[in-house]
Each structure stands twice: as C-alpha cells, then as structure tokens.
Structure 1
Amino acid sequence: MDNRINEIRRKISALRDEMIVAEGVIRDQVNHDHDCTEAAHRLLAMRSEMTVLIGQWKAAGGSERLPDVREHLKRQPVARPKKD
C-alpha cells in the first residue's frame, strides 16, 4: 500500500509543477493581451485531475498533511517561462 501512496504523491508533485508552469503561461498571455483560453482550460483539467489524485491518495490510506504550493516551491524551485 505504501508504494501506491508514494506513486500517487509523485504524480501529485509532478502535476503541481505542471500547474505552476501553466499559471505562468496564463499570466504571460494576459500581460501581453493574448487569448489564454486554451491554457486556462488545461489548468482547469489539471485541477480536476489533482482532485481525483487526492481522492485516490486518501482512499489508499494517505493521512499525512500534503504540502501546499508554497511549501512545494520551497523544496523544489520550478523554471518559469521567460518574459519577452
């Protein structure tokens, strides 16, 4: 069971990284007055996926506190898209 919990946690961590990058892309598109509809839809899909993963993690017996985004960023900085 621990392996399943650890695998789900790895997926959650990777998804958080992707979400942070997607948020940066949206921010950049908005700042340049571009349409961010596609990126926003991808981010919403990622949030839905995160909800499912957290449910699976809890169902598998995960009980420790999951780190929030700030704590996650402190442990593992993510490359941000370059601004033009």
Structure 2
Amino acid sequence: MTLIEASIRDQVNRDLDCSEASYRLMAMRAEVAELIVRWKAAGGGERLPTVRERLSRSFEDRAGAKVKVDKAKKPGASHSNARV
C-alpha cells in the first residue's frame, strides 16, 4: 500500500494522471476495512498496531534473531575462512 501511495505522490508531483493508482489504493483500503470488520466479528478486540509500530517490531524481530555462539566449542584451524 505504501508503494502505491508513493507512486501517487510521484505522479502528482510530475503533474501526471494518478487515477489508476488511486483506484487500486482505494480498493486496497476497502479490503483492509473488510478484513478488520471480519476480525472484529470473529472476536478480535485488541488494539491493532500502527504501521510504524508493526515495522519497528519486524525490525526488532530480525535484529533479535542473532546466531548464538557456543563458547565451549572452539573451531580448529581447519574451520578457518581466511584466504592465504
């Protein structure tokens, strides 16, 4: 959705017709609204995160998924990635 919004801004800034992209964006927003209605009808009642909150959580999840190093196990000389 953000890509289409950026496309619309770009088209407006260049004084181009943005009606097609606008129709696609309105259809996406209508679909999201329908999904929220279904979610609430199914018992969903918690606050939905904003885009900024969702993106920051995704970033934290990726940053937090670091490889754990086993300090008891030391690699030998045969495991070196260095080029000679």
TM range (shorter): 0.5 to 0.7
**Number of aligned pairs?**
59
Q: Which residue of 2 aligns with 1:53?
A: 35
Deviation at 1:73, TM superposition (A): 3.5
Is 1:71 the counterpart of 2:53 in the alignment? Answer: yes
Superposed CA RMSD: 1.6
Identity of aligned residues (%): 61
TM-superposed CA distance for 1:60, in Å, is 1.1
RCO higher in structure (CA 8 A, sep ≥6)? 1
Q: CA deviation at 1:20?
A: 1.0
If each structure's helix is expressed as a fraction of its own residues, which one has the higher value? 1
Shift of 1:64: 1.3
The Cα shift of 1:57 comes to: 0.6
Displacement of 1:71 after TM fit? 1.9
CA change 1:62–1:47 in 2 (3 A) is same
- Counterpart in 1 of 2:23? 41
Unpaired stretches in structure 1, ≥5 consecutive residues:
1-18, 78-84
Larger Rg: 2
Match of 1:25 in 2: 7
Please report the TM-score for the alignment, with normalisation by the length of structure 2. 0.62
> What is the TM-score with the length of structure 1 in the denominator?
0.62
